[in-house]
Amino acid sequence: MTGRLIMVSNRIPTEAEPSGGLVVALHDCLTAQGGTWIGSSGEARENPRDGLYQIASGDYDRYAFDLSREEFDSYYLGYANSVLWPLFHRRAELMEVQPGHAAGYLAVNARLAAMLKGFLRPDDVLWIHDYHFLPLAACLRELGVQNRIGFFLHIPFPVASDVPALPEADALTGWIAAHDVFGLQTQADVNRCVILFEQRLGAGISGDGTIAAEGRRFLPLACPIGIDAKGFRAVAEASQAGARISMAPDQKLVLGVDRLDYSKGLVQRFEGFGTYVKTRRDSDPKATLLQIAPPSREDVEAYQDMREALDLTAGNINGEYGEIDWTPIRYIRRPVPRDDLAGLYRRAAAGLVTPLADGMNLVAKEYVAAQDPDDPGVLILSHFAGAAEQMGAALIINPYDAGEMAQALSQALTMPLDERKARHAALWRSVVEQDIGWWTDRFLNALTGRDMAQVA
């Protein structure tokens, strides 16, 4: 790559050495080849500064831009998180379409495009992240920018028949086609993207995997995101957190770890676990579900409703089945330090990862990486997590079916060691081979034209 790599994401990490899988991967990638990271400073600002301002420099530069209160409400809370997030997660009924929010979203994207135009040199390659910036490339093209532009959608691609629920549906294909590479988590996402272009524009996919539409040609690319698998395994090995859990020796620990979000299927998970508790045979071990779920986006109404439903379900199950020395569901609504989390994963006999819709789900990969290969736990994974495409050796379940979840729990908690080891070995292979470094390489190879034929 001759030019610089310019990365754009909603939030820019402000620490010199950021933490968290994706952020670290992008940091490493920029450190290795130099470039610039641009993102918003996060919260709404009472006195937002004009334009981009530098917040750090070193191996690469970081620039932030501020959002006003109105921009934060319309662009971030309103359109990105109350329209695009529910629609793309197949929950169109939770959309809150409000006057001014789409305009605010487009205005932030147009403002950022104008700032970027002044910044870009002809050889620079731009990599845009996620649903906050879907129209950014189209705004840049309108300003005459011809640089290579890639995009990665971290969340699911919407189902074509849901798209008309978006008032801006007619613009969506133009936003997407403005990129050179449009990265998606799974082949199923690519298929949904192809169907959208077929249905709305009659555009088909060519032999090289590209789609010609809206006066351009772009490559929809399945590029599943990974984790730093070896690093996470090491953290789990060193963590003491598992030993802090007090449980009777004949009881098993089942673990759930999620942001508190309606896409994660937490109510259904509690009901599935409740069904296991209720229908458990003598040969099935007694188990406790430890659910760690810190709240997110609390200023969006749908999140408050879900939190109440979850409290009620957990309370009902514990009230109905709990005993003086055993609580079926332990529920922690706080973030947990990363190394503690790794130790809890390692201690758990089963990882229960049951989203109703999820772009990838990194928790599934972290659970596998954290296991002791000589005595691994069993991953129970929703069919609707993007991770299910790579992780067929997990127990794949339908999260809407409490009976099936209960059966999978019984199978996981009584699984012979040989089968647990064989399943884990297959899962570990996919997690360690297709790790976070593999993901950045695959995407950038496609974007910069290296190996184009090979990845297409």
Q: Active-site residue numbers? A: 154, 358
State which of positions 13-52 bind ligand ADP (CB under 6 A): 21
Q: Which residue has the tokens 């879900």?
A: 306
Nearer to ligand ADP, 120 or 302 (CB): 302
The token pair that represents 111 in the structure block? 């403002």
Q: Strand 395-397 relative to strand 329-332: parallel, antiparallel, unpaired?
A: unpaired
Task: Provide the minimum distance between the beta carbon of 361 and ligand ADP in the complex, in angstroms, as a whole number.
Answer: 5
Residue ranges in 330-359 that form contacts with ligand ADP under rule CB under 6 A: 335-336, 341
Per CB under 6 A, the list member of 102, 140, 363, 391 interacting with ligand ADP is 363
259 in contact with ligand ADP (CB under 6 A) = yes
Which residue among 109, 291, 354, 361 contacts ligand ADP (CB under 6 A)?
A: 361
Closest approach of ligand ADP to the CB of residue 153, in Å: 13
Tell me how far apart the alpha carbons of residues 388 and 383 are, in angstroms, rounded to a whole number.
Answer: 6
- Least separation in angstroms between residue 257's CB and ligand ADP is 5
**Pairing relationship of beta strands 61-68 and 53-56 according to DSSP bridges:** antiparallel
Among 189, 271, 366, 435, binds ligand ADP (CB under 6 A): 366
Instruction: Determine the Cα–Cα distance for residues 94 and 336; give it in Å rounded to an integer.
Output: 29
Of residues 258 and 271, the one with the C-beta less far from ligand ADP: 258
Q: With respect to ligand ADP, which residue has the nearer C-beta, 139 or 397?
A: 397
For 46, which DSSP code? S
324 by DSSP, 3-state: which? coil
C-beta of 258: minimal distance to ligand ADP in Å?
6
The distance of closest approach from Cβ of residue 366 to ligand ADP in the complex, given in angstroms and rounded to an integer, is 5
Residue 255 contacts ligand ADP per CB under 6 A: no
Residue 270 C-beta-side C-alpha neighbours within 13 Å: 23
Q: Which is nearer to ligand ADP, 151 or 218 (CB)?
A: 151
Nearer to ligand ADP, 333 or 450 (CB): 333
Binders of ligand ADP among residues 148 to 177 (CB under 6 A) are none
Binds ligand ADP by CB under 6 A, chosen from 149, 222, 314, 360: 360
- Which region, judged by CB under 6 A, interacts with ligand ADP, from 69-77, 194-202, 252-260, 431-439? 252-260
Binding-site size, ligand ADP (CB under 6 A): 14
DSSP output for 411-424: HHHT--HHHHHHHH
Consecutive H or E run containing 370: helix 362-370
Asked whether 264 and 356 are in contact (CB, 8 A), the reply is yes
Compare residues 223 and 363 and give the one whose CB is closer to ligand ADP.
363
Stretch that binds ligand ADP, among 2-10, 84-92, 196-204, 360-368 (CB under 6 A): 360-368
Q: Whose CA is closest to 189, among 363, 399, 385, 362?
A: 385
| Rounded Cα gap, residues 424 and 413, in angstroms | 14
Q: What are phi and psi of 322, to 5 degrees?
A: -60, 155
Binding range to ligand ADP, per CB under 6 A, among 197-205, 253-261, 320-328, 388-396: 253-261
Rounded CA-CA distance 305/294 in Å is 15
Smallest gap from residue 396 Cβ to ligand ADP (A): 17
**Interface mask (CB under 6 A) for ligand ADP, residues 275-314, using x and -?**
-----------------x-x--------------------
Using CA atoms, how far apart are residues 54 and 63, in angstroms rounded to an integer? Answer: 4
Output the six-digit token pair for 434: 């297709």
Helix (H), strand (E), coil (C) string for 267-311 = HHHHHHHHHHHHHCCCCCCEEEEEEECCECCCCCHHHHHHHHHHH
CA distances (Å), origin 118, targets 111, 113, 114, 249: 11, 9, 7, 64
Q: Which of 30, 163, 362, 388 binds ligand ADP (CB under 6 A)?
A: 362
Cβ closest to ligand ADP, residue 36 vs residue 81: 81
Measured between alpha carbons, how far is residue 223 from residues 231, 391, 438 in Å?
A: 21, 15, 9
| CA 180 – CA 192 distance, rounded (Å) | 18
**Strand partners for 8:** 38, 128
Q: Which is nearer to ligand ADP, 147 or 354 (CB)?
A: 354
The CB-of-292 to ligand ADP minimum distance in angstroms stands at 4
Nearer to ligand ADP, 186 or 361 (CB): 361
Query: Judged by CB under 6 A, does residue 382 bind ligand ADP?
Result: no
Mask for 79-118, x = binds ligand ADP (CB under 6 A): ----------------------------------------
Binding site for ligand ADP (CB under 6 A): 21, 257-259, 292, 294, 335-336, 341, 360-363, 366
